[in-house]
Amino acid sequence: MLTFRSRAPVRISFAGGGTDVSPYPQERSGCVLSATISKYSFTSLKLLDSRMVKISSHGTQRAVVLSCVEEAVLDGEFDLAKTVLMEFSPQRGIDLFFRNDVPPRSGLGSSAAGFVSLIGAFDAAFGHRLTKHEIAELAFKIERERLKVRGGKQDQFASAYGGINFMEFNANGVEVKSLCIGRGTLNELEKNLVLVFTKEREKHGTDIIEDQTDSFRSGSSTVGGALDAAKQTAIEMKGCLLKGDLERFGQLLHKGWEEKKKYSTHITTPFIDGLYDAARKEGAIGGKITGAGGGGYMIFYCEPDREIAVRERLTQLGAIPVPFSFEFNGLESWKVE
- Domain stop point among 180, 198, 215: 180
Cα Dmax for the chain: 61
Residues 140, 238 within the same domain:
no
Same domain, 33 and 77: yes
Q: By percentage, how much of the chain surpasses pLDDT 70?
A: 96
Report if residue 334 sits inside a domain: no
Which is nearest to 147 in space by CA: 76, 56, 68? 76
Instruction: Say if 331 falls within a structural domain.
Output: no
Higher pLDDT, 151 or 164: 164
- What is the CATH number for 19? 3.30.230.10
What does the pLDDT read at residue 120? Answer: 98
What average pLDDT does the segment 205-229 reach? 75
- Clarify whether residues 206 and 98 are in a common domain: no
Decide if pLDDT at 98 tops 60: yes
pLDDT band at 169 (very low <50, low <70, confident <90, very high): very high
Q: Are strands 94-100 and 53-57 parallel, antiparallel or unpaired?
A: parallel
pLDDT band at 114 (very low <50, low <70, confident <90, very high): very high
153 and 206 fall within a common domain: no
* DSSP-derived 3-state class of residue 321: strand
Whether residues 192 and 299 fall in one domain: yes
Question: Cα(303)–Cα(306) distance, rounded to whole angstroms?
Answer: 5
Residues 10-46 pLDDT 10s: 999 999 998 999 899 999 999 999 999 999 999 999 9
CB atoms < 10 A from the CB of 243, how many? 13
Q: How many CB atoms lie within 10 A of CB 170?
A: 14
Quickly state the pLDDT bin for 198 (edges 50, 70, 90): very high
CA distance 245 to 94: 50
Q: How many domains does the chain have?
A: 2
Q: How confident is the model at residue 151 (pLDDT cuts 50, 70, 90)?
A: confident
Comparing 109-123, 209-223, 253-267, the range with the smallest average pLDDT is: 209-223
Confidence band, pLDDT 50/70/90 cuts, at residue 200: low
Whether residues 157 and 256 share a domain: the answer is: no
The rounded Cα 2 to chain-centroid distance in angstroms is: 30
Q: Do 148 and 230 share a domain, yes or no?
A: no
> What Å distances lie between residue 235 and 1, 31, 133, 168, 336, CA to CA?
49, 8, 22, 10, 42
User: Measured between alpha carbons, how far is 16 from 264 in angstroms, rounded to an integer?
Assistant: 15
| Residues 46, 123 share a domain | yes
Domain region containing 288: 183-321
Q: Does residue 327 sit within a domain?
A: no
pLDDT at 203 over 70: no
- In the prediction, which pLDDT does 260 show? 84
- For residues 185 and 35, give the distance between their C-alpha atoms in angstroms, rounded to a whole number: 14
210 pLDDT band, cuts 50/70/90, is confident
pTM attached to this predicted model:
0.93
Are 189 and 166 in the same domain? no
The SS3 assignment for 5 reads: strand
Share of the chain above pLDDT 90, in %: 78
Q: Is the pLDDT of residue 199 over 80?
A: no
Is residue 122 domain-shared with residue 27, that is, in the same domain?
Answer: yes
First to last CA, the chain: 7
Does position 235 have pLDDT exceeding 70, yes or no?
yes
Q: Is 101 a catalytic residue?
A: no
Instruction: Please check whether residue 330 lies inside any domain of the structure.
Output: no
CATH of the domain at 224: 3.30.70.890
189 and 176 share one domain: no
Average pLDDT of the residues of the chain = 92
- Is 332 within a domain? no
Which of 157, 180, 203 delimits the end of a domain?
180
Given 180, 204, 223, the domain boundary residue is 180
- 328, part of any domain: no
User: What pLDDT is stored for residue 38 in this prediction?
Assistant: 98
What's residue 202's pLDDT? Answer: 53
Is 222 inside a domain boundary?
yes
Among 95, 101, 123, 155, the one annotated catalytic: 155
Q: Which residues of the chain form beta strands (DSSP E)?
A: 3-15, 30-47, 53-57, 64-66, 94-100, 164-170, 173-178, 193-199, 284-289, 296-302, 320-321, 332-336
One domain for residues 173 and 238: no
Give residue 224's pLDDT.
86
